[in-house]
Structure 1
Amino acid sequence: MNKEYAVGLDIGGTHITAAVIDITDMKVIDFSLHKESFDSNLPVEEVMTIWEKAIRTSIENSKVENTTGLAVCMPGPFDYTNGVCWIKGQSKYEHFYGLNVRDLFKDKLNLSSDFPIFFENDAVCFGKGEVFKDTENLSKKVMAITLGTGLGACFIDKGESISTGDLVPKDGEIYDLRYKEGIAEDYVSARGLIAGYFALSGKEINNGLELFNLATAGDTMAKKAFEQMGEDLAVIVLPWLATFSADSFIIGGKIANASEFFLPFFNKKIKEAGSNVTVSISTDNEKAALLGATSMLYKA
């Protein structure tokens, strides 16, 4: 069988990860994974130069001579069909607002007008990638979330993303669901953790990693902030796990690395509610996102 390869990109507010994917077997090619950190508020041309470097380095390291597509995980708001960025007021990609990123890629990489370039929400890419990593999930209904600077979510039924209909929230998103004095993301995210710790201790911290280090060192208030987030997460997702009839719930994102501090409290709430959903923590967010992106080009 002839192999086909595509480049997968996972693009965040401060990083880009590129890899060449065998889209016949859905495997990441050895040595092709390449990361670059950058400030997404740099001028567009400077950002595109960094992205180009990541892509070309990945292809060079893979030793693959020909790639047949580009698949990109991007945070929203973003017009994933047409490739237009609508991110505004989020301290990232301020200069990309209203620009067609598909055209930017084609110009920067000297690609033909018909070269396939697909875009998908980063949380959906993560969820799809987790499904493709474990083929048993291809027959299941999976809800997956990403915990980081924001709260991403997706609903996957037999490998397909579901974002409309009565079984899922609007656009398949949970970050903006009304919760307590605001929305879900105010409480379940890095900023939610930081705010929770401040409310408990009166102390200001800079980021989630700092809180994780405090909790690891035994700081009671830091642990309590994670516990509260775990309970809040359970309350937020329980109605949708039930409505969607999810078989599996998968947690990813950087904050998933702190699962020892919040997962027991999340699980306790889930069990108290009588849910039998299987809960798991992703062991490789990055590869999952890249596989999920390139699943749009999957050659079965």
Structure 2
Amino acid sequence: MNIPYAIGLDIGGTHITAAVINIKEMKVIDFSLHKESFDSNLPADEVMDIWKKAIATAIENSKVTAMTGLAVCMPGPFDYQKGICWIKDQSKYEHFYGLNIRDLLLEHLNHSTDFPVLFENDAVCFGKGEVFKEKANLAKKVMAVTLGTGLGACFIDKGVSVAEGECVPTDGEIYNLPYKEGIAEDYVSARGLLSHYKALSGTNLHNGLELYNRAIKGDVIAIKVLEEMGEDLAAVVIPWLEKFGADHFIIGGKIANASAFFLPLFNKKIKEANLEVTVYVSTDNEAAALLGAASMLYKA
């Protein structure tokens, strides 16, 4: 019996991760995962050459010769149906605005125009990947968030992303929900954490990792900032966990590494809201994103 394989890509502002995935069993093929770091502001052709190298290396390492499609996890703004990049003024992919990424990939990989190339939002890929990692989740309602530079979210019902209707916010996004003096992302993101830390301490930190390291060393302000983010995250998501009727809530993104600091207060708020939701933190964001992308080609 022929086993269907697909190429999964997780594309970020400074890296691309490629892997070959068995889309029957939804598993990453051993040794196929390959990551390349690069400057996404290079000319488009140079970036595409780096992507091509990552894909070729993943295929070579997998020892698989036939692929049924290419599934791409891509940050927005992006036209996921047409494959057109609309990223602008974000200090990344400055030469890609308005380009059709599907056509560029087909051209650089020498594939025919009917070769399947599918795109999905990075937060949605993460959530779907977590669902497909545990097949029991395919019968559940799952809300997932990615805590990093920004605040990503997705809502998944029985393996299918839900982005419209009364049970989810507009486009399935929570980053722009009104919250306190601004929007949710002003408080629940690396930017929000650093802003809060500066307001309390007067000190400018460079990134979330620096804040995390300070918390580990016992910096009471850093700890307070992370704890309060747990409360803010709960305040933002609880109404939507209720409306969506979520069984599971999954937390990913780089800030998830600091869950020891923010999760206790988050869980306390969940309990106070009388929600019966299983909360857990992802242990492998990268594999989840790749599996989530490949799920678009899933063969049950």
The TM-score bracket by the shorter chain reads over 0.9
Give the CA deviation at 1:187. 1.0
Q: What does 1:127-206 correspond to in 2, within 5 Å?
A: 127-206=127-206
Work out the CA distance in 1 between the residues paired with 2:31 and 2:41: 29
Work out the CA distance in 1 between the residues paired with 2:61 and 2:238: 44
Q: 1:126 — aligned with what?
A: 126
Q: What does 1:1-300 correspond to in 2, within 5 Å?
A: 1-300=1-300
Give the CA deviation at 1:200. 1.2
Give the CA deviation at 1:68. 1.4
Work out the CA distance in 2 between the residues paired with 1:159 and 1:147: 21
Give the CA deviation at 1:24. 1.2
Work out the CA distance in 2 between the residues paired with 1:39 and 1:201: 33
Work out the CA distance in 2 between the residues paired with 1:278 and 1:240: 15
Q: Cα RMSD (Å) of the superposition? A: 0.8
Give the CA deviation at 1:67. 1.0
The amino acid across from 1:81 in the alignment is Q
Residues 265-274 or 54-63, more deviating: 265-274
The amino acid across from 1:267 in the alignment is N
Give the CA deviation at 1:208. 0.6
The amino acid across from 1:185 in the alignment is E
The amino acid across from 2:161 in the alignment is S
The amino acid across from 1:35 in the alignment is K
Identity across aligned pairs (percent)? 75
Give the CA deviation at 1:299. 1.1
Work out the CA distance in 1 between the residues paired with 2:214 and 2:268: 23
Work out the CA distance in 2 between the residues paired with 1:189 and 1:48: 30
Q: Deviations over 1:31-51 (max 9, x none)?
A: 000111112222111211111
Work out the CA distance in 1 between the residues paired with 2:42 and 2:265: 40
Work out the CA distance in 1 between the residues paired with 2:191 and 2:73: 22
Give the CA deviation at 1:178. 1.1
Q: TM-score, normalised to structure 2's length?
A: 0.98
Runs of 4+ in 1 over 4 A off after TM superposition: none
SS in 2 for 1:92: coil
Work out the CA distance in 2 between the residues paired with 1:152 and 1:40: 21
Give the CA deviation at 1:85. 0.8
Work out the CA distance in 1 between the residues paired with 2:210 and 2:51: 29
Give the CA deviation at 1:287. 0.6
Q: Deviations over 1:161-197 (max 9, x none)?
A: 0001111000001111111121111111111111111
The amino acid across from 2:221 in the alignment is M
Work out the CA distance in 1 between the residues paired with 2:121 and 2:80: 7
Q: Deviations over 1:48-74 (max 9, x none)?
A: 111111111111111111111100000
- How many residue pairs get matched? 300
